Structure 1
């Protein structure tokens, strides 16, 4: 069965309210299934290159260089409460912000040279989460609203939209589940690719699926091609995303902890270098424009592998919340200097082969870097 044929039944079982079900189904729209034969393209899907360099910043990412402001992407947690501005205790100096608080915060950073942000939605309203994560592509939800707001306010800012369901599902997992609690890859990919399309349609310059479901890069690429916008949307793959203990502060910020079990069945196991290499090759072949490794500092060998396997693609590395929090804790304890350690960790990532860094240190780097 397809996602479209199950959405109504599954939402009804979760909510038990027919009127609410109809509302949720309208929000959880599904595009027509995109088998490879339904898309007329010349050559393999990996031949579709224009999206990867349609934007000036994306073109700049094609070049290797030393640490500069243009290679930094700043993570933002966007609340569905418009006036919220709440510090995240486990993530120093980071806040969860609503739309009304977003522009005043970003204006001075853009003036200092902020080039790119990655958006994570945080639904807090009662009833916002369900088993399908239907709020993920709600046209009035935090991510789509933020994309439109930022496009108007900062025309030159490059907007990346993280694509996942964990923040929006009542169970906290990164897809749609079977009755036994395991991940249904086919339905999850259909749903994830719909969400990616909604963000692209809203104006995101880049969509970045982080769910780790098999085949989601190809599904998104095909839908971008069918919709006629593949030439203007960068597809960044979290190709090598490892499970581990460094995501706690992020889950506090995004409210995305699983309600049961863990994500080891779809995130890569620590030490799974062979699996990471296979995932990188798979996502390159499925049409990814950028390959990401996460976490960053603990997987320098995987960053190096990504650069080897995708030597003609930009490689991104995510300095995850746990890495950031540990550096702050060490500096607070007087073990080392914050600035020196932030530079050392980031430059190590670059030496390993990354050309893009997703970092919570971005505001500090805007002050520390001259260009």
Structure 2
């Protein structure tokens, strides 16, 4: 029986296992576990790779979003326009700082925020647009930049699923006021636990982020603000430095797996992911739309020991904590009813993709 997990970390890490073990051992022998040389080096190397003047690490991707909003001065009484189709952390961060999320529908091809729908949603309280580069596909950053500049809004990028993705040859996270990344193990640059990163072009913002992540302190036992305990540890930084060296290869492998899926499923009654040749999709997820009987198809895959996930089954405005927070958005509603993500990870071989696709075609038939 074919058995395929959503992410096979052993297959992914096997080629660099020795490097990873040496990096972990290096930290253990150093005796330095918090705010040391590994974190500083990882921040510098990430900034260089992403084309951002500054990169500040933190404990996780959600904290990256919260800290970004705080440094942007967003809080009580403010509104932030964002997507209804993403993981809850994006909306959670807006709520956490006391602001109100304003949901705008998504584009039916890309699943990303539809820029054309943003202007009607802008009010006197709107302070920012928080855009998500969902599943690794960059949002329409040219249009978003024009809109945010026209209306005097901040553009904040949620790049949690898109480390290494490019829009017109420029890495995401380097376009907006600030960019936020996650190193959850399944992400493109997946760590070995939680971790996060924030990019910015402002030295003042970078300094403020470093203060906030460390209990509001620049100097030991001297606290200028109420901050957080949100630091990336040395072991995570060392391991991420190993994988950062290979991130282009990992993303290339993901695109290759996606291409195989598209080839083998080209005749299937599915809506396959779309992309723009000018934008580099990194396929953190390979998400299709199943127009009929999505849940039944998923159950049949499960019987065959093939993993699949519904990212995401419920529009964010329908979450219990946000009940009645927004009118229904038709594209988002439809996508939530039909979306299904198939296994994809570096190290996934063509034979496995072909066999999985054949089983899926059989189920759909």
Query: Larger Cα Rg: Structure 1 or Structure 2?
Result: 2
State TM-score, norm by structure 2: 0.31
TM-score normalised by the chain length of structure 1:
0.30
Q: Which has the higher contact order (CA 8 A, sep 6+)?
A: 2
